[in-house]
A and B are shown apart, each in its own frame.
Chain A
């Protein structure tokens, strides 16, 4: 195979300082093999029932293997990456080299679609999803990873989205790979004038996960909400680097991260926001928090604001802390067992992010995934 136009990141690369590069270096990124028909049939039969009102598309090891309705015709050449640094493009280029299918989702002018993409990984996969929203289009997309295999699967996923003028995009992701999986992903969003995008991500699975994301406000008055939560336990490591560039006036970004590092896990999030000279009247709000619950756990949150113009309204906060002992004691003093009490408080901590989810079906789905790691927590919110 000829050399990639990019090289594997190293700890010297600014955006990869907290990534588990040793773990990534051990991952074997091989071309994926098309799953046999009986495997596809078996998996398809085992899938949970589709979300009501959503078209379902299933990706097995990166192959588009079942589509409940035909995706709209959509032709494009693969978009140009926003990522400028070689290191940031490495996994992207690797995906382009090794990917099998590219799932293209397009929503025509003023049309509305709700799509559920189920991602199943059995071996090595390089899923690729390219999304285009035309002017005034609306897309609600939920992407769920089902940990159907207990093996050490390897995933290198790429998502590209262009959110057209005045389009509305909601992308909700549940990254819950198998406990031994290695999971890398590159996400790029181009936001056109007057568009509104909401991004949610819950990461609970994988031995190691790394998210590299770039979002660019290319048109004026565009808005982006980026809400992410990551829960690490055992020796898991979850690392995210999210770069948001304001390149046009009056754009808004709200970014929230809530991470919980239990046991000996590592959770880190770097949120970099850049407001260019030609992007005045920007509004940037950032709140990054991590909870350390394991004595040998590590957590890092790094807010980075780079503002090159005046007239910007910005706020940011970043904290790493422990479970509040007063809250914990209050719950214990009511007879709540210690494990449930700390589960409740973790839930409460993450709920800052969840309460922004407007779609009840997606919210229920995300809460259900969270319930697996924080038992009893869903009931605590709904009070049932």
Chain B
């Protein structure tokens, strides 16, 4: 894999949150068509990586570079990153009472279309698209008219994140613990949703704690994030090894 081909190329990334250095020289390459899983202990910086990629204020990059589809990702505003096909699935999706769920979907889709020089989506076409994606996510249409994530259960919020992803069809989806808090059936639904997005021109980065999700979404690569960097990378077998052995042995090796 050459660097030119990688859709996402992170080199020596350093991020400070508050006064804490969280990412400390993280490097990662993700090519189109691939699914990468990132695992690692609590507090190791997985969400920090996701937020840094999405451009959340307060996540200060003090070093390194990120190129995405040939562009300097870090120089773009958060909304511009999203409009260029980067999608962040939140570990804790935010409730926004008073802003309509379906409106957000439509406004987000139109923002991305505008970036690509396309006209606003036709109302009927949009409705059909949303209905189709809701079917995949087994979500009731009543969710559309509610406030964004307002009063949604933990599992419903996660489904709603994936629904947004399916409607937006991003080139790169970074899903932060899409599986946490899901019941067994919901896990399959979410995995189905993610698999529906897999395509040769798209890439997916899954942050997860459990091997279980990876039974449904087969990753090409598995990475361990600890001490602010990727300390080990491997194939799907690495996730199974982690499930059996935990992280201690790796941390000792890394130290």
Residues 93-110 of B, flagged 1 when their CB comes within 8 A of A and 0 if not, give 110111111111011100
* Interface stretch (choices B11-19, B75-83, B191-199, B229-237): B75-83
A352 at the interface (CB under 8 A from B): yes
Is there contact, CB below 8 Å, between B96 and A333?
no
Q: Shortest distance in angstroms between A319's beta carbon and chain B's nearest beta carbon?
A: 15
- Residue from A330, A332, A379 in contact with B103 in the complex, judged by beta carbons closer than 8 Å: A379
A320 at the interface (CB under 8 A from B): no
Is there contact, CB below 8 Å, between B112 and A335?
yes
Is there contact, CB below 8 Å, between A333 and B100?
no
Is there contact, CB below 8 Å, between B107 and A352?
no
Residues of the B chain whose Cβ atoms lie less than 8 Å from the Cβ of A352: 98
Bound Cα distance from A282 to B55, whole angstroms: 51
Is there contact, CB below 8 Å, between A337 and B144?
no
Residues of the A chain whose Cβ atoms lie less than 8 Å from the Cβ of B145: 383
8 Å CB interface, A330-369 against B: 330-338, 340-341, 344-345, 347-349, 351-352
Q: Is chain B's interface secondary structure helix, strand, loop, or mixed overall?
A: helix
CB-CB under 8 A for A382 and B82, given A333-B54, A336-B107: no
Smallest CB-CB separation from B56: which chain A residue? A329
8 Å CB interface, B167-205 against A: 168
A381 at the interface (CB under 8 A from B): yes
Q: Shortest distance in angstroms between A382's beta carbon and chain B's nearest beta carbon?
A: 7
A325 at the interface (CB under 8 A from B): yes
Is there contact, CB below 8 Å, between B57 and A329?
yes
- Residue from B56, B98, B103, B108 in contact with A351 in the complex, judged by beta carbons closer than 8 Å: B98
A52 at the interface (CB under 8 A from B): no
Is there contact, CB below 8 Å, between A382 and B100?
yes
Q: Is chain A's interface secondary structure helix, strand, loop, or mixed overall?
A: helix
- Residue from B57, B79, B107, B144 in contact with A325 in the complex, judged by beta carbons closer than 8 Å: B57
Q: Chain A contact residues (Cβ within 8 angstroms of B): what range?
A: 20 to 34
- Residue from A329, A334, A336, A381 in contact with B98 in the complex, judged by beta carbons closer than 8 Å: A381
B88 at the interface (CB under 8 A from A): yes
Q: Shortest distance in angstroms between A183's beta carbon and chain B's nearest beta carbon?
A: 28
Residues of the B chain whose Cβ atoms lie less than 8 Å from the Cβ of A150: none
Is there contact, CB below 8 Å, between B100 and A381?
yes
CB-CB under 8 A for A383 and B102, given A330-B94, A335-B111, A336-B108: yes
Is there contact, CB below 8 Å, between A330 and B96?
yes
Is there contact, CB below 8 Å, between B98 and A347?
yes
Residues of the A chain whose Cβ atoms lie less than 8 Å from the Cβ of B88: 333
Residues of the A chain whose Cβ atoms lie less than 8 Å from the Cβ of B123: 384
Smallest CB-CB separation from A330: which chain B residue? B94
B48 at the interface (CB under 8 A from A): no
Residues of the B chain whose Cβ atoms lie less than 8 Å from the Cβ of A344: 99
Residues of the B chain whose Cβ atoms lie less than 8 Å from the Cβ of A33: none
Bound Cα distance from A330 to B54, whole angstroms: 10
Q: Shortest distance in angstroms between B181's beta carbon and chain A's nearest beta carbon?
A: 18
Is there contact, CB below 8 Å, between A380 and B78?
no
Bound Cα distance from A379 to B106, whole angstroms: 10
Is there contact, CB below 8 Å, between A345 and B82?
no
A327 at the interface (CB under 8 A from B): yes
Bound Cα distance from A91 to B3, whole angstroms: 74
B90 at the interface (CB under 8 A from A): yes
B211 at the interface (CB under 8 A from A): no
Is there contact, CB below 8 Å, between A383 and B57?
no
B9 at the interface (CB under 8 A from A): no
Is there contact, CB below 8 Å, between B96 and A345?
yes
B31 at the interface (CB under 8 A from A): no
B52 at the interface (CB under 8 A from A): no
B208 at the interface (CB under 8 A from A): no
Residues of the A chain whose Cβ atoms lie less than 8 Å from the Cβ of B77: 332, 338
Smallest CB-CB separation from A340: which chain B residue? B107
Q: Shortest distance in angstroms between B157's beta carbon and chain A's nearest beta carbon?
A: 11
Is there contact, CB below 8 Å, between B164 and A334?
yes
Residues 287-331 of A, flagged 1 when their CB comes within 8 A of B and 0 if not, give 000000000000000000000000000000000000001110111
Is there contact, CB below 8 Å, between A335 and B79?
yes
Smallest CB-CB separation from A352: which chain B residue? B98
Bound Cα distance from A325 to B96, whole angstroms: 11
8 Å CB interface, A6-35 against B: none
Bound Cα distance from A378 to B132, whole angstroms: 26
A-B residue pairs, 10 tightest by C-beta: A348-B98, A335-B82, A335-B111, A334-B108, A330-B94, A383-B100, A332-B78, A351-B98, A383-B102, A335-B83
**In the complex, given contacts A330-B90, A334-B107, A337-B79, what are 19 additional A-B residue pairs having Cβ atoms less than 8 angstroms apart?**
A329-B56, A330-B96, A330-B148, A331-B99, A332-B79, A333-B55, A333-B78, A333-B79, A334-B108, A336-B104, A338-B77, A338-B79, A345-B99, A347-B98, A351-B98, A381-B103, A383-B100, A383-B102, A383-B145
Interface CB pairs A-B, < 8 A, 23: A330-B93, A330-B96, A330-B148, A331-B99, A331-B104, A332-B79, A333-B54, A333-B78, A333-B79, A333-B90, A334-B111, A334-B164, A334-B168, A335-B79, A335-B83, A335-B108, A335-B115, A341-B79, A347-B98, A348-B99, A352-B98, A380-B100, A381-B98
